[in-house]
Amino acid sequence: MTAFESTFFHVERHGAVVHLVMNRPDRANAMSSDFWTDLPRLIAALGRDQTVRCAVISGAGKNFTGGMDLAAFADIAKLFEAEPGRAALAMRDLILTLQDAFTALERARFPVIAAVHGACVGAGVDLITACDMRLAAADAAFAVEEIHIGMAADVGTLQRLPKLIAPSVAAELAYTGRRFSAEEAKGFGLVSTVYDERETLVAGALELAHAIARKSPLAITGIKRNLAYARDHSVADGLDYIATWNAGMLRPQDLMAAVQAKMAKREAQFADLLQSEA
């Protein structure tokens, strides 16, 4: 299997944009074990390809995702048959591994857009809250469903959702597990645009991704890093961080390319970032 192949995702390349399609429509794109290994692996591989400037994640079939495939993790129950301390440590390690699959989206140097249609429940909400932007089709339905199986969501929703929408609303959704619509999600600020159907949604997501990909990749990376830093730090710390970032990263080439293109009424061309050997 090459770096960009996957048993769970269908990977499409559109110039500087990569479209990752969750491709288990017969199971509502439930997140089986290969989802959890392939997502961080693919994101890391794409990050090493400096010609990639933006990514879109969508789902094939009628739904974005039905969340975690519990059947694929049936062995989890066997952990609790072991000595309690060791079982707890093994469970913690597993949860941290699952969390890291979504944190990989935040670590990526390029923006990631979630294009949501149909059901987006359980771990699907964990997934989209780790993305940079969220778009939805009118038929999208969201739910923080973990409460319905007697547990607290543990792979990102409780940490990220209150940073994206009002904390009181996030608490209501987590405590009740109720479903909410695309229009509600837009009203909450969770999604920025609602499209009529999946086809226009995906087209809109790819259009947005291409618009981002035409910008300076160095500036885009700087924006992503500083948005994440500002979310988790004080305003004073964030201002200090962006001052240090631009002192080190701001260079005249991209500034001149942008200014000259504007004066000539043409689109600016920006060089790719340097290839990483990591």
Reported as a pLDDT band with limits 50, 70 and 90, residue 101 is very high
Q: Classify domain 217-263 by CATH architecture.
A: Orthogonal Bundle (1.10)
Residue 275: the pLDDT is 74
Q: Taking residues 176-197, report their average pLDDT.
A: 98
Token pair, residue 141, equals 């339905």
| Mean of all residue pLDDT scores within the chain | 93
Q: Taking residues 1-7, report their average pLDDT.
A: 80
Residue 76: the pLDDT is 78
**From 3.90.226.10, 3.20.20.80, 3.40.50.720, 3.40.50.170, which CATH number describes the 9-213 domain?**
3.90.226.10
Place of tokens 């093994």: 90
126, 142 contact by CB (below 8 A): no
Q: How distant, in Å, are the alpha carbons of 53, 62, 115, 159, 173 from that of 163? A: 25, 29, 20, 8, 14
Residues of the chain with CATH 1.10.12.10: 217-263
DSSP letter assigned to residue 196: S
273, 53 contact by CB (below 8 A): no
Measure CA of the first residue to CA of the last residue in the chain; give whole Å. 19
182, 140 contact by CB (below 8 A): yes
Minimal CA–CA distance to 178: which of 130, 146, 135?
Answer: 146
pLDDT at 1 over 70: no
Q: How distant, in Å, are the alpha carbons of 26, 125, 141, 245 from that of 144? A: 22, 7, 11, 36
Residues of the chain with CATH 3.90.226.10: 9-213
Q: How distant, in Å, are the alpha carbons of 84, 91, 111, 177 from that of 73? A: 19, 12, 30, 22
- In this prediction the pTM is 0.94
pLDDT digits (tens, 9 = 90+) for 31-52: 999 999 999 999 999 999 999 9
Residue 276: the pLDDT is 66
Q: Report phi then psi at 37, rounded to 5.
A: -90, -35
Q: How distant, in Å, are the alpha carbons of 45, 209, 214, 224 from that of 18? A: 12, 9, 14, 17
Residue 55: the pLDDT is 98
Reported as a pLDDT band with limits 50, 70 and 90, residue 92 is very high
Minimal CA–CA distance to 46: which of 213, 225, 200, 268?
Answer: 213
